Structure 1
Amino acid sequence: GAAAVVVPEAPMELLKLIELVKKGRAEAMSSHLLKHGIDPSQLLPPSTSTEYDIRRTPTILHLAAHHGQAQVVKLLLEKHHADPTTTTLSAQVAEKGSEEEEGENEVAVTSGSSFTAYDIAKDKETLNAFRRAMALLPDSWDWIGLAHVPSALTPEMEAEQERKAKEKTRKLLDAERERKKTREVSRPSTPTNNRSGATTPTSTTSSSSLLGKNLASATAANSQLSPEMRMRLERERRANAAEARLAAMKQQETVRRAVQEGKNVCVACGKALDGLMPFDKFGRKFCTTDCVSKGPA
């Protein structure tokens, strides 16, 4: 029978390089390439290692693009001049050739898909790394035909893209502000209560302003009094408050007595209800809505 093909282990320095590429350690990868003299465009050798698959990522550049390591791609292309035109198909052909396969097998392989590193790039930033390299090194490779990079990306183009993105964001924000204004304008305003006892916002504001001025004036005047005079005024204020409380208590007692005696009076203020249309709440009679809100004495 045919002898089994022995697939060697990949060299340690190559496995280390692959690890650095997959982790995105661009500067360390670059130093490793230079230190060990590794050709960044070489096809990765067949290996039993699970770190890479030469059918999908036959070169270091393919590997970096596949894992979305844009900075690694940038250094490989711009500093180490890795070949972006190598395809997965060419790697498969090389692998089959090394195994000395029959001609029909080689035809079957070459009829498969062919992907460059750009074709398998993971994300937009990685794709842009190829386009920036194309702008920087336009004559180094057949970027469009063989590397499949559709167009270059210059700094001016990126600046214009950023400007357009900012302009779009600004327009969206302006539109949102306009929508908020429209909602506020169309929102119905709170109707002004003109019934007895109610105050409009203007009158409330005026009253508050007047009260503030009077309070400020009183405070200023009080600060100019002697300590003895301030104490005298405080005693008078307290005495008046006590008298008011006693009068209120006496009024409440009078009202309660009148109600208990069955007199036709307001249960809040004691006013006679004869000849009036009283307000009735829970069986109690009141003379006005103010008394209704105050409740019974």
Structure 2
Amino acid sequence: MAHRYNLNVFCLPSELVDTLTPRALVGQPPPREPSPPPPTVAPLASAKGCNICLGATFADVDEQRVHFRTDWHRYNVKIRLSGGNAITESAFAQLVGGLEDSLSGSASSDDEISDESDAVNTLLSKINYTSLSDVPEDGTLKAPLTALTWFHSPPSTQIGVYRMLFPLDTPPSAYLSELKAMQATVEGGRKWAMFLVAGGHFAGAIVRVGRISDEQDEVVQTRKRKPPKSKPETEVLEHKTFHRYTTRKKQGGSQSINDNAKGAAISAGAMLRRYGEQALRDDIRNLLRDWAEDIHECERIFIRASVSNRRIFLDYEGCVISKGDGRLRTFPFPTRRPTQAELARCLQELVRAKVSHLTEEALRAQDEAYLASLPKPKPLPAQPALESVEKPKPPRLTKEEEIVREKWNRLLDMVSKGRLEPLKAFWEREGQDLGGIDALIPEWTGDRRASILQVAAQAGHDAVVQWLLFDLHADPTTPVPLAWTKDGGMESDASDAEAPPAGSRRTAYDLARSRAVRDVFRRCAADHPDWWDWFGIAHVPSALSKEKEEERDDKKKQRRKGLREKMREREAREREQERSSEVVFPVEEPPKAKKEPPSGPQKLGGSSGSTDGIAGLTPEMRAKVERERRARAAEARLR
């Protein structure tokens, strides 16, 4: 049986549709049979029972209602819905006992039932029973869902259809029946709405897909002798495209996104782009209002837009398309710039069935190779094994410890960022509670520096370092931990290294990366030499007094002055060399016009023309001579 390759999913041949079967992995074992119902215990003559939980009987209705609110019953219900087996009450108690945090009681209120952090959901998240229905008995995996669903027609024909064409709540087992129902004709034809918007470009269309009812064709045949021409399977009923300037050139992104990220720009281009965005939004909404009647008749509505542009179509006052409309779809394939041609391509891609011709042997080999490439699922642990899977509990902190940690984090953040004024105000309030200026940084912060002064010195904030040294008398002799290296990293073998001799440990001065910070240490050593052992333990090389600093500044000025003088001398020498290299050529007066006598003998000999003086020169030399001649003529005119 020969088929066309351009098959419309709404106009498939009947002989092909009748032979279609859902395409599944040939190499995959049959699905697992549903778990048998649990054995029920015969209740007493006047007792009530639970069909889910094993051996649960109740004396009256109130006791049964209490049971329905217990974690045990809720757990069994969710396990059964996920394809698992119900467990006894003692087994459930063992599972709950292995949790870190369980509920305080079995009878929960309505608010507690809706909480997603209770024991039932915690157990389900650990066991992950939601994937049990996807894992067969032998441990193989099913193929993941793709944009296309395939149907097989023996002996060697496969038809692929996009899942987006089916209703959203359709299970995969009902795809074939939906495909057969799509072959029925609809009065007026099936209508779709398609919209594309990106980068200020918009393209929209109302299209007809599938066949039209034959009643109108029969009426036309009774009136005319010639049969009417058959209408195409797809037809564009309405279409519109327009463009607005909304995107920043060479930078991408709309103006509104840039304004939200960096603040509103005040350039002329920004104002034009904002106007373009507003105009684009108004144009699209006006078009939707004009097409409202056709959109209400559409079977599917396809929209391709970004998150910000999607608000143009939905969720505004008087919107034509509601936000929760079940007809809404996205294009299940990449699209290009919104144009009328791109809409036509997307339409053909959606309605055209994908056709392949593979034999069952080739399909089986293909499926086996695909299943072999899938990662094997991890074996599910047994239920009692949950007791051994326990993560170590982090130590619980008291409220006071949490407050202290928050203070340290704020302090280190302000010091590392150089925020001096907030740091001063914070230290006046909290400095004594944190242990003073020389308190060591706690280990739980993860900071490998020992003091606040070391943090400020390595960050390069000279103003903060000066405040710490001069005002708070911070200790510069505190050693840096051995694991801290010069570039801020960790030494790999620091823990195994022997302790260095005294005085060789690094200090805050060694962590300083800028000259301004090092000068602060040297100034403090010069002004207050008796505070600390600056030149020994603190590793400060020398003191920097005001006289030395002024002397250093004078040397800098003299050095700069000498450099400027050398530059002037060099420029003067270059100008003199240019003048000496110039060649002065004699400038000859232009020859006077010679009048030839009307008659008579002529004098012997030639006359010197205007080109005798520059004859034999290169074009560059001639141009130079001409410039000299013009300059002399201009000087003569000025006199």
- The TM-score bracket by the shorter chain reads 0.5 to 0.7
User: How far has the Cα of 1:169 moved from its partner?
Assistant: 0.5
What TM-score do you get using the length of structure 1 for normalisation? 0.57
Aligned partner letter, 2:505? S
Structure 1: distance between partners of 2:430 and 2:544: 32
Aligned partner letter, 2:421? E
* Deviation by residue 1:191-243 (Cα, 9 ceiling, x = unmatched): 44444328xxxxxxxxxxxxxxxxxxxxxxxxxxxxxxxxxxxxxxxxxxxxx
Structure 1: distance between partners of 2:594 and 2:439: 105
Bigger fraction of residues in helix: 1
Task: Note the 1:142-291 alignment, pairs <5 A.
Answer: 142-187=533-578, 188=580, 190-197=582-589, 271=596, 274-275=602-603, 288-289=609-610
Which residue, out of 499, 504, 516, partners 1:110? Answer: 499
Bigger fraction of residues in strand: 2
Aligned partner letter, 1:173? R
2:471 pairs with 1:82 = no
User: How far has the Cα of 1:68 moved from its partner?
Assistant: 0.7
**Cross-structure match for 1:209:** none
**Cross-structure match for 1:30:** 424
Structure 1: distance between partners of 2:496 and 2:588: 100
**Cross-structure match for 1:294:** none
Find the residue that maps to 2:510 and give its secondary structure.
helix
Find the residue that maps to 1:158 and give its secondary structure.
helix
Structure 1: distance between partners of 2:528 and 2:478: 17
User: How far has the Cα of 1:7 moved from its partner?
Assistant: 10
* Deviation by residue 1:178-200 (Cα, 9 ceiling, x = unmatched): 111222223325444444328xx
Find the residue that maps to 1:89 and give its secondary structure.
coil
Structure 2: distance between partners of 1:192 and 1:144: 70
Find the residue that maps to 2:468 and give its secondary structure.
helix
Alpha carbons 1:58, 1:91 under 8 Å: kept:
no
Find the residue that maps to 1:133 and give its secondary structure.
helix
2:522 pairs with 1:131 = yes
What TM-score do you get using the length of structure 2 for normalisation? 0.28
User: How far has the Cα of 1:270 moved from its partner?
Assistant: 6.1
Relative to structure 1, the CA distance from residue 91 to residue 61 in structure 2 (aligned partners, 3 Å threshold; closer, same or farther) is farther
Structure 2: distance between partners of 1:117 and 1:5: 33
User: How far has the Cα of 1:6 moved from its partner?
Assistant: 5.6
Which residue, out of 70, 81, 85, partners 2:462? Answer: 70
Relative to structure 1, the CA distance from residue 178 to residue 189 in structure 2 (aligned partners, 3 Å threshold; closer, same or farther) is same
Relative to structure 1, the CA distance from residue 16 to residue 276 in structure 2 (aligned partners, 3 Å threshold; closer, same or farther) is farther
**Cross-structure match for 1:16:** 410
Structure 2: distance between partners of 1:4 and 1:149: 46
Structure 1: distance between partners of 2:480 and 2:586: 84
Structure 2: distance between partners of 1:181 and 1:191: 20
Find the residue that maps to 2:481 and give its secondary structure.
helix
Alpha carbons 1:278, 1:288 under 8 Å: kept:
no
Alpha carbons 1:41, 1:59 under 8 Å: kept:
yes
Find the residue that maps to 2:443 and give its secondary structure.
coil
Which residue, out of 120, 131, 138, partners 2:511? Answer: 120
* Deviation by residue 1:239-275 (Cα, 9 ceiling, x = unmatched): xxxxxxxxxxxxxxxxxxxxxxxxxxxxx87636944
Task: Report the count of equivalent residues.
Answer: 199
Structure 1: distance between partners of 2:410 and 2:457: 18
State the structure with bigger RCO (CA 8 A, min sep 6), 1 or 2.
Answer: 2
Structure 1: distance between partners of 2:568 and 2:396: 66
Structure 1: distance between partners of 2:563 and 2:583: 34
Find the residue that maps to 1:11 and give its secondary structure.
helix
Find the residue that maps to 1:53 and give its secondary structure.
coil
Structure 1: distance between partners of 2:474 and 2:596: 105
Find the residue that maps to 1:71 and give its secondary structure.
helix
Percent identity at matched positions? 32
Aligned partner letter, 2:506? F
Aligned partner letter, 1:17? L
Find the residue that maps to 1:144 and give its secondary structure.
coil
Structure 1: distance between partners of 2:396 and 2:570: 67
User: How far has the Cα of 1:175 moved from its partner?
Assistant: 1.1
Which residue, out of 53, 58, 77, partners 2:450? Answer: 58
* Deviation by residue 1:121-149 (Cα, 9 ceiling, x = unmatched): 01111111111111122111111111111
Alpha carbons 1:68, 1:123 under 8 Å: kept:
yes
Structure 1: distance between partners of 2:394 and 2:483: 18
